[in-house]
C-alpha cells in the first residue's frame, strides 16, 4: 500500500472511530441494569446489599451465604431524543465552507434494546462462597439514516460486551465480608459512517470497521455488617480492550478512488473505565431500609483510541472522571411484598467541544420505582421501572475526513442533543436452593 493510501485509510478509520461510545442509560456507553432489585431503588445501595443480585457491584456480597442463591433479570431499554443540526459546515479542499446538507433532525437514533443478566452463588463452607455473574455492561446500537446531517460521524454502530465474573468471597468474622472476582470480557464492535467525495454533487462513499476480542480485569470488595448498618466498598478495574478485525472503504471516486480498500487484521485498543463504589444500607425500622451509593468512574482512561498496524495512529477522546450519586429506600409492606423507590444523578464524562453525534451523552436524572413479591421462602420476583431525563447538550466536535492528507475535509460540527429521555422496564427473579 502506498504511503498516501495508508494515510487516507488512517484518516478514514479515525473518522469512523471518533466517539466509539454512545449515550446509554448509566453513563456514556455503560449500562448498569444488572439487577431488577437494584433498578427499583435507582441503584442506590447495591454494593452494600447481599446475594448474587449484587455480585456485579461488590464481590463480597455473597460472603457468608447459607443457601445457594441465583438471580436472573432482563431490562427493556426505550430511549428517545433528537440529534439536531444547528449549522454544521463541510470544507472540501479548495472550496469554501458549505452546509453539510441532508436531514437536519434525526429522531431516536439509539435503538431500543433488551439487556439480560444473571448470577449464581454457592456456599462452599459456612465462611466461603463461590459465584459467577454474566452481564453486558457496555452495549448499544445506533442507526442514523443515510441522509442524516450526522452521516459523516456515524450511520450504523453496534457494540456488545459479555462480562463473565467468577467470584470468591469469605466471611472471616461475623461482621466482615471480603470478595474478589476476575472479569473476563468478550467485545464485538461494528462501526460505520459515510465518507464525503471531493465534489458535493457526488454520492458519498462508505466505510465499516468490525472487530472483536477477549480481555480481562478484576473486581474486589468488602462489606461491614454492624447492627442496623451495612457498609460496602468495592473497586472494579479498568479493562484494556484489544480488538482485531477488518476495515472496508467503498464508493470513493476520482482522486480518492485509490483509497477504496479491504484491510484485514486491523487492531484497535482502548480502555473502559474503573469504578470505585461506596454504599450504605440503614435499617431504620423493621420495615424501612434507607440506601445510598456513590460511584467514581475512571473515564479519564478513555483518553484515546489507538489503531495499530498498518495504520499506527491514534485519536484523542478526552473523557473525564465522572460521578453518580443515588439514594433510595426499601419498604416491607408485608412479609411477601416489598416496594422500592430511588433517584440517581449521573454526570457525563463527555465534555463540551469534544462531543459528536456518535456520543450525544449528557448529565441525567434517573427515577426508579419497583417492588418484590416473595412467592415462597425460596422464590421472589422483582419488577422495576426507571425514567431517565437527559439535559440538552451541544454536539460540537470538529472532525476531518482524510486527516493529514491533501484531501483533508474538515467537518465543523454544530448540533445539539434535545428532548432526550429513556424508559427502562426490568423484570427478574431470585431463587434460593
What predicted TM-score, i.e. pTM, was given to this entire model? 0.91
Q: Rounded CA gap, 73 and 381, in Å?
A: 10
Task: Label residue 5 by pLDDT band (50, 70, 90).
Answer: low
∠ at Cα 397 (84, 389), nearest 5°? 50
pLDDT tens across 370-384, in order?
999 999 999 999 999
Q: Is pLDDT at 1 greater than 80 in this prediction?
A: no
Q: Rounded CA gap, 398 and 410, in Å?
A: 7
Q: Which of 424, 17, 24, 413 is nearest to 207 (CA)?
A: 17
pLDDT of residue 406: 93
Query: Per the structure block, which three cell numbers stand in for 377?
Result: 421462602
| Domain boundaries, given as residue ranges, for the chain | 3-81+110-396+422-432
The residues pairing with 369 across neighbouring beta strands, listed in sequence order, are: 341, 385
Q: Is pLDDT at 333 greater than 50 in this prediction?
A: yes
Query: Per the structure block, which three cell numbers stand in for 33?
Result: 441494569
Order of strands, sheet of 89-90, starting from the edge strand that comes earlier in the sequence? 98-99, 89-90, 409-412, 399-401
pLDDT tens across 288-303, in order?
999 999 999 999 999 8
Q: Rounded CA gap, 331 and 334, in Å?
A: 9
Query: Per the structure block, which three cell numbers stand in for 370?
Result: 419497583
DSSP string covering 196-255, please? --SSTTSPPEEEEEEEEEEEEEEEEEEEEEETTEEEEEEEE--EEEEEEEEEEEE---GG
pLDDT tens across 228-273, in order?
999 999 999 999 999 999 999 999 999 999 999 999 999 989 999 9
The rounded mean pLDDT for the chain is: 91
Q: Where are the beta strands (DSSP E) in 136-204?
A: 140-143, 156-170, 176-195
Q: Rounded CA gap, 148 and 85, in Å?
A: 9
Q: How far is CA 203 from CA 85, 93, 195, 196, 384, in A?
A: 20, 17, 9, 8, 47
pLDDT tens across 141-186, in order?
888 999 999 999 889 888 899 999 999 999 999 999 999 999 999 9
Q: Is pLDDT at 14 greater than 80 in this prediction?
A: no
> In the CATH hierarchy, which fold is given to the domain comprising 3-81+110-396+422-432?
Porin (2.40.160)
Phi and psi dihedrals of 127, rounded to 5?
Answer: -120, -15
Amino acid at each position: 500500500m502506498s504511503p498516501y493510501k495508508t494515510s487516507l485509510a488512517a484518516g478514514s478509520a479515525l473518522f469512523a472511530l471518533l466517539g466509539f461510545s454512545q449515550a446509554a442509560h448509566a453513563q456514556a456507553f455503560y449500562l448498569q441494569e444488572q439487577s431488577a432489585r437494584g433498578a427499583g431503588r435507582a441503584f442506590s445501595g447495591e454494593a452494600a446489599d447481599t446475594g448474587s443480585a449484587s455480585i456485579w457491584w461488590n464481590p463480597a456480597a455473597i460472603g457468608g451465604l447459607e443457601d445457594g442463591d441465583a438471580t436472573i433479570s432482563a431490562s427493556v431499554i426505550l430511549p428517545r431524543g433528537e440529534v439536531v443540526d444547528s449549522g454544521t459546515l463541510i470544507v472540501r479542499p479548495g472550496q469554501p465552507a458549505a452546509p453539510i446538507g441532508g436531514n437536519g433532525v434525526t429522531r431516536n437514533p439509539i435503538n431500543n434494546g433488551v439487556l439480560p443478566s444473571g448470577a449464581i452463588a454457592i456456599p462452599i463452607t459456612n465462611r466461603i462462597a463461590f459465584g459467577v455473574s454474566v452481564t453486558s455492561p457496555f452495549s448499544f446500537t445506533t442507526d442514523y439514516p443515510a441522509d442524516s446531517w450526522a452521516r459523516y460521524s456515524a450511520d450504523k454502530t453496534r457494540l456488545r460486551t459479555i462480562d463473565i465474573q467468577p467470584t470468591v468471597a469469605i466471611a472471616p468474622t461475623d461482621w466482615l465480608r471480603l470478595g474478589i472476582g476476575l472479569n473476563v470480557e468478550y467485545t464485538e464492535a461494528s462501526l460505520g459512517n459515510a465518507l464525503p467525495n471531493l465534489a458535493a454533487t457526488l454520492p458519498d462513499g462508505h466505510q465499516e470497521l468490525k472487530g472483536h476480542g477477549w480481555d480481562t480485569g478484576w473486581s474486589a470488595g468488602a462489606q461491614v455488617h454492624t447492627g442496623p448498618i451495612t457498609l460496602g466498598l468495592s473497586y472494579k478495574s479498568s479493562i484494556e480492550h484489544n480488538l482485531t478485525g477488518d476495515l472496508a472503504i467503498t464508493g470513493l471516486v476520482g482522486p480518492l478512488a485509490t483509497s477504496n480498500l479491504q484491510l484485514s487484521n486491523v487492531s484497535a485498543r482502548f480502555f473502559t473505565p474503573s469504578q470505585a463504589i461506596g454504599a450504605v444500607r440503614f435499617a431504620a425500622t423493621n420495615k424501612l431500609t434507607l440506601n445510598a451509593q456513590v460511584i467514581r468512574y475512571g473515564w479519564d482512561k478513555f483518553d484515546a483510541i489507538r489503531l495499530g498496524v498498518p495504520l499506527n495512529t491514534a485519536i484523542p477522546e478526552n473523557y473525564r472522571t465522572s460521578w453518580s450519586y443515588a439514594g433510595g429506600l426499601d419498604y416491607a409492606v408485608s412479609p411477601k411484598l416489598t416496594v422500592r423507590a430511588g433517584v440517581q444523578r449521573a454526570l457525563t464524562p463527555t465534555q463540551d467541544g469534544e462531543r459528536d453525534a456518535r456520543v450525544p451523552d449528557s448529565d441525567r436524572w434517573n427515577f426508579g420505582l419497583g417492588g418484590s413479591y416473595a412467592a415462597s421462602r425460596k422464590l421472589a420476583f422483582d419488577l422495576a421501572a426507571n425514567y431517565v431525563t437527559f439535559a440538552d447538550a451541544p454536539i460540537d466536535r470538529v472532525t476531518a475526513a482524510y486527516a493529514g492528507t491533501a484531501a483533508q475535509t474538515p467537518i465543523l460540527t454544530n448540533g445539539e442533543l434535545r428532548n432526550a429521555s429513556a424508559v427502562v422496564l426490568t423484570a427478574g427473579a431470585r431463587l434460593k436452593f
